Structure 1
Amino acid sequence: MFLQHLPLAPWAERTGAGLRLTLLSDTPDLDEVHVRFLLDNEETWQPLARAADRGRFACFEATIPWCPTGPTTRYCFRVLRDGVPYWLAATGPQRRVPNEAHHFRIARQPLVPAWARQQLIYQIFPDRFARGPDAPRERPPHAFGYGKAPVHALDWGAPLDVKPSWSAFYGGDLAGIGERLGHLQAIGVTTVYLTPVFASGSNHRYDTEDYDHVDAGLGGDEALVALSRQLHANGMRLVLDAVLNHTGANHPWFNRFAQHEVPGAWQSAGSRWQGWYARDEHGRPVYWKGHQSLPVLDYAHPEVLDTFIRAPDSVLRRWLQPPVSADGWRLDAVHMLGEGPGAGNNAAMLRAMRDAVRDENPEAILVGEHFSEASPWLQGDQEDAAMNYWGFTLPLWQWLAGVDFGGRAAPIATTDLVDWLGESRAVVPHEVALAQWNALDSHDTQRLFTLLGTDEARHALALALQFGYPGVPCIYYGDEVGLQGGNDPDNRRCFDWSGASWRGGILERVKQLAAWRRDRAELREGACITLAHGNDWVAFARVNATAVTLLLLNRGDAVDAVLPLDALPFDVDRWDSPSGHAWTLDGRTVRLPLPACDAVWLWSADA
């Protein structure tokens, strides 16, 4: 017996009366059909009524009330046939009542601004992307991180052979980004995400010294205004990086190195900012992961809350306002933020951030940085999405490269990949899964292309999954031309604008994949169904109400793949292969020779 339900219209529809659900089955003569849902965390049951068949499927429908508490209504299905119960949840068929974490979940109102799932994100580390016509700008002779360090001004692309690496500057700036928008548009990029741009002594700028002004080395406030206007004039969006968990040790509020006239929390117990920073049981400042350049803020202090979140001119609000009018924030280390020396009341802080941002601009987004599983922050009342390290990047690394983020050996079988991805989709609402930022790597990891030994065929598999899987592709600058890089700081090399080192095959592949995603709505908004998998290959279907795209990934030797299509909610009469592969259709089964280390695409031809 087969059951199917997809958490999007027409199988799940918001109505004035509640949530209308449709369950599909290849077996019409069922003894019982129920939906189990939660009202105020209490188990509630409702029968489904038989409705008109849809093609080869018997349909059963019910409308359930919205859960009055919490952001989502959670549900699963139970049917009885010949005295045997069968269950269906977001993780697929079950033989027992599913874990409630794996229930389908839908919110009464849309959770994420509609534009957020349509994007192609491009992450830029400003110092290493491009120089504008006025760069390099003169910087102070010293910077302050762990202590006083000489500033090194390096020629573009020169080896990074100075220490400390954080005080080495290549002179990339915001004007340089504006001059290179043509490159981004040619790829299909629609949103630019900038790592921190506010005044700081380091090249990474995660040790903020002034939240009120853009770093002069990047061009200052005027340069950010100009870039934002240029992006918006070209139909693109801007997301900034919010470092709210900690400041730099040289921030005037902390003033560890006595570079500012007014005593800070480091110098004086009488400082007005003394209570702004977290302290341990001995009264010593707490630093982010022990890094003494990054003292942690204490959100138990009302002035910290006002400065960053609540006040009309708070940091989160101010940069969403004209003239910059940013479209959202990426929140650095936000899971560690809270009251006291730890993450106390973290969820309350995130809800306050969401309320402030939505109040300022209902269309602005919040994207969290989480290397671990992020679902608690992604239920519709805190973040809109996360940098999807846990639910995308890490399983992809382990399947293709056999290592984790720490470089430890961590190979996984294809069945583990399928289970991992399936669970990561199931534990968040479908519309949140569609907005997740799926990256192959970032400024905090090795470059995947380097990790794969510059194997372009294997890298092509990663790109195919990045553009074919639910979520928003997030390209780390240079990935589109095969820029290499090991661990920090090597993963932050200068972009080679001469083109001499570019891998043209990768660039053309990215452009093609971006065009397919732009043209096929099911790749941006559809559900994801795992159709089949073998030892080294897997086949996914992306499905909306009218169209289907199939993506097959094979990391191993050539194999003949057999794909049963019974799980699709409707039959497809004609298929095309934009990747140029051959296939045969035998009833509701696709058979094809799957080449070694290759990605195969098929899609419904009548879409």
Structure 2
Amino acid sequence: MKTPYLFHGQDAFWVTPTQHHLKVTMVSESDRQISAIFVRCEPDNEEELLDMARGETCGRLQYWHGEIPLNSDIPLTHYCFKIMQNNRQWWLHAQGVTPRVPGKEAHFKFNRRDQPPAWVKQQVFYQIFPDRFANGDPSISVQSDEYCLRGDERPTVAKAWGAPVSDYHEGNGPNEFYGGDLAGIHSKLDYLQTLGITALYLNPIFTAPSNHKYDTTDYHQVDPHLGTNAQFADMVGDLHQRGMKIILDAVYNHTSVDHPWFDKHQRNTGEPGAYNHPTSTYREYYQFDGDSNEYIGWKGISSLPKLNFSNPAVQDFIYAGEEAVIKHWLQPPYQIDGWRFDVIHMLGEGAGAVNNAHYVKAFRDAAKSVNPDSYVLGEHFFEATQWLQGDQEDGAMNYYGFAHPVRAFFAGLDIAYHRCQINAEELVDWLNEARGKIPWQNQLTQLNQLDSHDTMRFLTMLDGDQDTMKLALLMLFAYVGTPCLYYGTEVALEGGQDPDNRRCFPWERTEQPHEMLDFVTRLIQLRKSSPALQEGSLQWLHAEHQQLAFARTLDNTFSLCLLNNSDHAKTLSLPIWQLGVEHAVLQDLLTGDEWQVKDGHLAITLAGKEGLLLTQV
């Protein structure tokens, strides 16, 4: 039997909280014979089925209204809809419509207590790897052989801007420096504003021997080869004056072996470090095997010793104390707007992630105690559902729920770069499953990226196919979640796996007309000017083979995204009546072309590799 049209959005039109209840609305086809609809919830962990009242009829749409109690024992309320039709029943839930009751992970979710910052969903983020973005002060650049990263091994290598990055197998990835710095970033704020960027995410900037700086030696100082604390404060002040935001990378799971607490290479002239000194004050900051020099490193990597979070001194330094480092950078004179917590899912007591949820919540509480509107973002390469129910992270780097499925659809690759071709139906199933497991407000503040400093650049995955890259970029800016560009994407910067994905920004490409730059600038402008794209509900209208169509709806407005990932033209007939529209003129916001909606349908032919973003004129 054909699945009926049933829909429940999650913006304010569909979901309205009161002090103790949640008012919910859903919609069906007006000519569909339905005997009853119930909204199912579980107050006190026991099922209740509450009647939905038949409401207004608008053309082919029949609205239904109901109210459920908010759970009093926990912040999270789960619900879904049971639709009775003759001898059949259908269930409407966060992952779609099925003929049986869904598992609880697929229910709609509302968190009455823990909400992410409202500002996040309005942003367009831009990720910068500082050493490769812009050199504003050559006098502080790392010099060749200035120091070694590992004892007397891995001497620094200074390279000319734009020179090729060494191959991964050469082993020089962490010790090659190109001279990018804070002064360079600050000097390019006009460029970033013209592009339309509203928020920056910087890879680590604190003192560390490597170029990537995930091996911290001083959590309170900007690395002197990047600039000074005062320079950073000035830059943040300028950003805020421009109405922009900034978040920093927080690397609190492990330190460098050169951190004074550890001091593996015995460079510290003060208090002895933990390595080789069983009686050191800092011995319990790490996890040694008795009095030996055997210790636990992150993923077994000896240069990154894991911190011991069962030690109160470590807790106080990182999050619990009044001067804890998480709080320090959120306070004046810096006042950053949030943290991206590196490998936060691995942090815990002992070798593993024991009591991980406790510490993630503690990190959240520490940040929110200084700035309740700060953004708490977690790095998770795989599924992050358990961290995204509202009480731990506001959002995650959305690899599992966006980057992975989008990569499979457009590039035919999985996260391990194995072949993985999926069609549009499979893409929608994947996206729905990932998105539906978390509350709506957290869906909106997921950080969506096509690529990052940890992945091959998306354009390189596509073998340089810029037509397909434009489709993926359109998906990035039209889909649910907050978009983030990895630096250089807007000028078609390519790069293979780490470290080749960290090439220098080719500034010469911004000095002449550039098709990709113009395209990205236009997408950013459209995203920023459309509340529907920022926080509107998602409605799928078509998903078959290599063609995809979905709408973002808010109030009485919508944006309609159409994608043809095939090389061949395809004619679609889209049920625009599901958006409450029977007759209208739709205009493509990218080209200005127009189409007619007749009798609730849009007949449209997409050229090969064509993407459109339509709205009602």
Is the partner of 1:63 in helix, strand or coil? Answer: strand
Distance of 2:287 and 2:582 partners within structure 1 = 59
Shift of 1:6: 0.8
SS in 2 for 1:466: helix
Task: Tell me if structure 1 keeps the 8 A contact 2:584–2:597.
Answer: no
Measure the CA separation in 2 of the matches of 1:159 and 1:75. Answer: 54
Aligned to 1:600: 612
Greater displacement, 575-584 / 511-520: 575-584
| 1:69 aligns to 2:73 (yes or no) | yes
Residue 500 of structure 1: how far off its partner (Å): 7.7
Pairing of 1:360-371 with structure 2 (within 5 A): 360-371=370-381
For 2:614, give the aligned amino acid: L
Q: How does 1:340-355 map to 2 (within 5 A)?
A: 340-355=350-365
Distance 2:78 2:50 in 1: 13
The offset of 1:572, in angstroms, is 6.5
1-structure distance, mates of 2:289, 2:537: 47
In the alignment of these two chains, the number of paired residues is: 605
Alignment partner of 2:590 out of 571, 579, 597: 579
**Structure-2 residue corresponding to 1:268:** 277
CA distance in 2, matches of 1:281, 1:273: 14
The partner residue of 2:52 within 38, 44, 48 is 48
- Which residue of 588, 591, 602 corresponds with 2:603? 591
- SS of match in other structure, 2:42: strand
Among 478, 499, 508, the residue aligned to 1:468? 478
Equivalent of 1:160 in 161, 165, 170: 165
Shift of 1:402: 1.0
* Pair 1:497 & 2:502 matched: no
**Larger mean Cα displacement after TM superposition, 265-274 or 346-355:** 265-274
Q: Where does structure 2 lack aligned partners over 5 or more consecutive residues?
A: none
**TM-aligned CA deviation for residue 136 of structure 1:** 3.8
- SS of alignment partner, residue 33 of structure 1: strand
TM-score normalised to the size of structure 2? 0.94
Q: CA deviation at 1:566?
A: 4.2
Paired amino acid for 1:9: A
The one-letter amino acid of 2:335's match is S
Among 545, 565, 575, the residue aligned to 1:555: 565
In the TM superposition, 1:155-554 aligns within 5 A as 155-161=160-166, 164-261=172-269, 262-279=271-288, 284-499=294-509, 504-554=514-564
Greater shift after overlay, 452-461 or 268-277? 268-277
Tell me the SS of whatever aligns to 2:258: coil
Is the Cα contact below 8 Å between 1:142 and 1:148 reproduced in 2? no
Distance 2:510 2:245 in 1: 30
Deviations 1:240-267 (A, max 9, x none): 0000111111111111111112222221
Displacement, 1:424? Answer: 1.4
- Between 1:48-57 and 1:559-568, the stretch displaced more is 48-57
Residue 571 (structure 1) shift: 5.5
Going from structure 1 to structure 2, the CA distance change for 1:561 and 1:316 (only over 3 Å counts) comes to same
| C-alpha distance after superposition, 1:491-538 (max 9, x if no partner) | 111112222898811100001001111111100001111111221111
Q: Deviations over 1:543-599 (max 9, x none)?
A: 112111111111111111111134325656332222335534231111101110110
Offset at 1:163? 5.3
Letter in 1 for 2:92: L
Secondary structure class of the residue paired with 1:67: coil
CA contact (8 A) 2:297 2:305 kept: yes
User: 1:564/1:200 Cα in 2 relative to 1: closer, same or farther (>3 Å)?
Assistant: same
Question: Equivalent pairs: percent with the same residue?
Answer: 40
| Counterpart for residue 4 of structure 1 | 7
CA drift at 1:235: 0.9
Question: What is aligned with 2:101?
Answer: 97
Q: Amino acid of the residue matched to residue 487 of structure 1? A: Q
Q: Secondary structure at the match of 1:370?
A: coil
> Matches of 1:538 and 1:481 in 2, distance apart?
26
For 1:301 and 1:72, the matched residues in 2 are separated by 32
Moved more, 93-102 or 35-44: 35-44
Q: Is the 8 A contact 2:77 2:109 kept in 1?
A: yes
Structure 2 match to 1:127: 131
Aligned partners of 1:135 and 1:173 also within 8 Å: no
Q: For structure 1, which segment, 348-357 or 131-140, has the greater mean C-alpha deviation from structure 2 after superposition?
A: 131-140
Is 17-26 or 511-520 further displaced after alignment? Answer: 17-26
Which stretch of structure 1 is more off in the superposition, 261-270 or 234-243?
261-270
Instruction: Give, in angstroms, the shift of residue 82 of structure 1.
Output: 1.9
Cα deviation for residue 477 of structure 1 reads: 0.6
SS at match of 1:21: strand
**Letter in structure 1 aligned against 2:34:** L
Q: Select between 75-84 and 465-474 the one with higher mean Cα deviation.
A: 75-84
Aligned counterparts of 1:377 and 1:599: Cα–Cα separation in 2:
34
Per-residue deviation, 1:92: 1.4
1:80 paired with 2:88, answer no
2:101 and 2:516 map into 1 onto residues whose CA distance is: 46
Q: Name the SS for the 2:392 alignment partner.
A: coil
Instruction: Specify the alignment match of 2:34 in structure 1.
Output: 30
1:401-449 Cα deviation digits (max 9, x unpaired): 1112322112212221111111111111111111111111111111111
The whole-number CA distance in structure 2 between the counterparts of 1:227 and 1:165 is: 28
The structure-2 alpha-carbon separation of the partners of 1:439 and 1:322, relative to structure 1 and needing over 3 Å to count, comes to same
Q: 1:393 to 1:146 in 2, by over 3 A?
A: farther
Is the alpha carbon distance of 1:596 and 1:217 closer, same or farther for their aligned partners in structure 2, counting shifts above 3 Å?
same
User: Is the Cα–Cα contact under 8 Å of residues 583 and 596 in structure 2 kept in the other structure?
Assistant: no
The alpha carbon displacement at 1:49 in A equals: 2.3
Is the partner of 2:578 in helix, strand or coil? Answer: coil
**Structure 2 CA distance for partners of 1:415 and 1:138, relative to 1, 3 Å:** closer
Q: Which runs of 5+ in 1 are unaligned?
A: none
CA deviations on 1:185-240 (whole Å, 9 max, x unpaired) are 11110001110000000000000001011100011211211211111111111100
Match of 1:148 in 2: 153
Counterpart AA for 1:127: D
Task: Pick closer, same or farther for the CA change 1:495–1:61 going to 2, 3 Å.
Answer: same
Residues in 2 aligned to 1:278 and 1:411: alpha-carbon distance in whole angstroms: 43
Distance 1:572 1:40 in 2: 47
Cα offset, 1:10, TM superposition: 1.4
Does the CA contact (< 8 Å) of 1:197 and 1:214 recur in 2?
yes
Cα–Cα, structure 1 residues 91 and 280, in superposed 2: closer, same or farther, change >3 Å?
A: farther
Give the alignment's Cα RMSD to 1 decimal: 2.0
Aligned residues of 1:572 and 1:604 also touching (Cα < 8 A) = no
Tell me how far apart the structure 1 counterparts of residues 58 and 575 of structure 2 sit (CA, whole Å). 19
Match of 1:18 among 18, 21, 24: 21
Instruction: Please tell me whether the aligned partners of residues 240 and 326 of structure 1 are also in contact (alpha carbons under 8 angstroms).
Output: yes
User: Given the superposition, is the C-alpha separation of residues 257 and 321 from structure 1 closer, same or farther in structure 2, using an over 3 Å criterion?
Assistant: same
Shift of 1:22: 1.2
- Cα pair distance change 1:54/1:146, threshold 3 Å: farther
Shift of 1:60: 2.3
Contact 1:188 1:511 (8 Å CA) reproduced:
yes
Give the SS at the match of 2:82. Answer: strand
Does structure 1 conserve the Cα–Cα contact (< 8 Å) formed by 2:262 and 2:282? yes
SS at match of 2:339: strand
Identify which of 542, 557, 568 aligns with 2:579. Answer: 568
